[in-house]
Structure 1
Amino acid sequence: MSTSRGPSVRQRRLAAELRRLRERQGLTGDEVADTLAWSTAKVSRLENARTGAKIGDVLRLLDLYEIEGARRQDLVSLAHDAARRGWWEEYRDLPSPLADYIALESEATAVREWCSTVLPGLLQTEDYARNVIGGWSDLATLPPQELERRLDVRMRRREVLDRPHPLELSVILDEAVLQRRIGDRKVMREQLEHLHRMASLPHLTVQILPLNVAHSVLAESFILLQFSPVHDIVFPDIVHTESLTISHFAEEAVTYMYRLAYTSLARQALDAADSRRRIIEARDAW
């Protein structure tokens, strides 16, 4: 299993800005490499976030591009941020797609999620999550210690909802998710009670798509991650989808279609208040 890590959002923001600054100066990668006595490959790796940017290298580039004042301070701060390790990197045995997703989720400003099979990881209780993760053992055996580590990671992911500027999370749930048994009845009751509490938070929106309404969009589960500009550097929205064997990220050209799909699903779903009532009905049924 590969455990190589893709670049973080911070690294990709910095790389894109370094490329933009070079182009604004009218310099080629070869010219930058010649001036700084680097290889052209090094310049390319920095501008494509294929390698971590050392602070000293960033300072040399900013000198070459004549960046001073507040803009320089912003980019140096971004470079320091990009060099920071995320908490998930403590778990070296995490599959790369999962580690890459957590890195994106940790820096997202807003997440729009459509769930057709299980509750989103950020809203799962520990017992519900243990049963979801444990189910993978039927396909790829997870030792008990590894299962607990995956569970610990899932619980730590919820920190994005408790930080000073919490993630804005909007979720549309297929009603079948409320009825699909994960674990025993106690697990389901506690999970739906937790979901109801979370749905009352100001930065969370939960909508239920009833089974008995006409479904105009038949889509697999997906997550749309959105990012606010940092130091005036924009990062594109990203869509994440997955199947049993593939975890897939898509950017820009594809995300517009998913935004339309989410908007359509939200129009068909119950509003927030009616959705909370439906959650309580489902809890009581369990």
Structure 2
Amino acid sequence: MTRSKHIPTVASARLARELRSLRDQAGLSQEIVAEEMGWAGSKLYRIENDRSRVLVRDVKRLLRLYGTDEKQAEAVIELARLAGEPDWWHQYSGAIPEWFQVYVVLEASASHIFGYESELIPGIMQTERYVRAIMSTAPGADSDEEIERRIKLRVDRQARLTEKHAPNFWLVINEAAIRRVVGGREVMCDQIEHLIHLTQLRNVTLQVLPFEVGAHSAMAGSFSLLKFPAADDPDKVYVEQHIGGLYIQKSQDVSWYSRAFDYLRAQALGPAQTLAMLRSVMAELT
């Protein structure tokens, strides 16, 4: 019987982190644990990196091997049960590339998201008509139904902006992204108006990087820096490409992107100046 494909969830990502931490605390290597469990060497690696589903009964065996105390074991076992429950976005899983599914999980569990966009309005801030205009330019032969599912996913992701425990978003957008007329003047005008509305949210800080700045620290392209509430969950950087995504977790590399973002927001227009520019662009469009 073919096993169903593993789709990461917020709970499964946390479970993977907990199991890795408990193994480290027990002073056991992946090789020793795999041998004790009777697994191939790669199986534990995949479990600890949220690339493979782990059964509750196997979690219980791991916890016994690690000597986890009863109270903590109960919490981890409950987490293992939750890890099998689909997140809201699973209904769109067929329309999301596998490499982007990981980002949706990270975005859903982050406490702070810092990002720079060079060409586009950030995905989580795009209007439906703006998204449709972008997707109409992409090469390929996606069906109308698949395109609509992708659009619906992107719109539903925006609910994260206004949830009770929404992360803090601090985004810097290149002036080119608000000047480029995507989908026509009316579509772009609506998109700018939407950005103006989002700047009123308590957890959103938006800045425009003006052309007059000249050369800057992110000339190579866009990126997102994600921070998480758990102290043992390291910061991560996501760099999206045309047909894939790059996830960066190495501390010195993440630090480089963190410094680059600090330079960007120092050079960018302040929130009030950004709002004034958005209103000016909107006036030009109308």
- TM class by shorter chain equals 0.7 to 0.9
Cα offset, 1:72, TM superposition: 2.6
> Residue 226 of structure 2 corresponds to which residue in structure 1?
225
Question: Matched residues in 1 for 2:45 and 2:249: separation?
Answer: 21
Q: Which amino acid letter does the alignment assign opposite residue 200 of structure 1?
A: Q
Equivalent position of 2:107 in the other structure: 105
Q: Greater CA deviation, 157-166 or 23-32?
A: 23-32
User: Which among 121, 125, 130 is matched to residue 123 of structure 1?
Assistant: 125
The CA RMSD over aligned residues, in Å, is 2.4
Aligned-pair distance for 1:8?
4.5
Task: Show the counterpart of 1:285.
Answer: 284
| Aligned twin of 1:172 | 172
Distance 2:227 2:56 in 1: 27
C-alpha displacement of 1:246 = 3.4
Deviation (angstroms), 1:133: 1.7
1:244 is aligned with what amino acid? H
Tell me if the contact between 2:207 and 2:265 (Cα under 8 Å) persists in the aligned partners. yes
TM-fit CA distance, 1:31: 5.2
Q: In 2, distance between residues paired with 1:276 and 1:221?
A: 21
SS at 1:193's partner residue?
Answer: helix
Q: Which deviations, in whole Å up to 9, do the C-alpha atoms of 1:133-191 show, x marking residues without a partner?
A: 2221xx11222222111111111111211222012111101112111000111111111
TM-score in terms of structure 2 length = 0.87
1:203 match: 203
Count of paired positions: 278
Amino acid at match of 1:98: F
Q: Which amino acid aligns with 1:99?
A: Q
SS at match of 2:211: coil
- Give the equivalent residue in structure 2 for 1:188: 188
5+ residue gaps, structure 2, are none
Mapped partners of 1:77, 1:61: distance in 2: 14
Runs (5+) with no aligned partner, structure 1: none
The one-letter code matched in structure 1 to 2:261 is Y
Classify 1:206/1:140 alpha carbon distance in 2 versus 1 (closer, same or farther; 3 Å): same
Where do 1:27-42 residues align within 5 Å?
A: 27-29=28-30, 32=33, 38-41=38-41, 42=43
Structure 1 28/246 Cα, relative in aligned 2: closer, same or farther at 3 Å?
closer
Shift of 1:220: 0.4
Q: Distance in 2 between matches of 1:100 and 1:11?
A: 11
Distance 1:173 1:31 in 2: 48
Which amino acid in structure 2 is aligned with residue 188 of structure 1?
A: M
- 1:235/1:8 CA distance change after superposition, 3 Å: farther
Letter in 1 for 2:135: I
Query: What CA deviation, in whole Å up to 9, does each residue of 1:26-52 have, x standing for no partner?
Result: 44556545655x335454543343321
Equivalent position SS for 1:212? helix
Structure 1 window deviating more from structure 2 (43-52 vs 121-130): it is: 43-52
Give TM-score scaled by structure 1 length.
0.87
Indicate the larger mover: 85-94 or 8-17: 8-17
Instruction: Give the % identical residues.
Output: 31
- Structure 2 SS opposite 1:208: strand
- 1:163 alignment partner, SS class: coil
Question: 1:190-214 deviations in whole A, cap 9, x for unaligned?
Answer: 1111100101110000001111124
- Aligned partners of 1:245 and 1:148: how far apart in 2? 19
Alpha-carbon deviations, 1:66-124, whole Å to 9, x = none?
Answer: 32254233323332332222232222242212222212212222111111101001111
Give 1:1-286 correspondences, 5 Å limit: 7-8=8-9, 10-29=11-30, 32=33, 38-41=38-41, 42-91=43-92, 92-136=94-138, 139-217=139-217, 218-229=219-230, 234-252=232-250, 253-286=252-285
Q: How far apart in 2 are the matches of 1:20 and 1:194? A: 42
Are residues 59 and 197 of structure 1, via their aligned partners in 2, closer, same or farther at CA, if it must alter by over 3 Å? same
SS at match of 2:234: coil
CA 1:31–1:271 in 2, change beyond 3 Å: closer, same or farther?
closer
CA distance in structure 2 between the partners assigned to 1:26 and 1:199 by the alignment: 48
What secondary structure does 2:233 align onto?
coil
Q: Separation in 2 of the partners of 1:75 and 1:224?
A: 28
Deviation at 1:238, TM superposition (A): 1.7
Are 2:6 and 2:51, in contact at CA under 8 Å, matched by a contact in 1?
no
In structure 1, what is the Cα distance between the partners aligned to 2:220 and 2:262? 13
Q: What's the CA shift string for 1:238-267, capped at 9, x where partnerless?
A: 211123333222112321111111100000
CA distance in 2, matches of 1:261, 1:26: 37
Distance in 2, matches of 1:30 and 1:187, equals 56
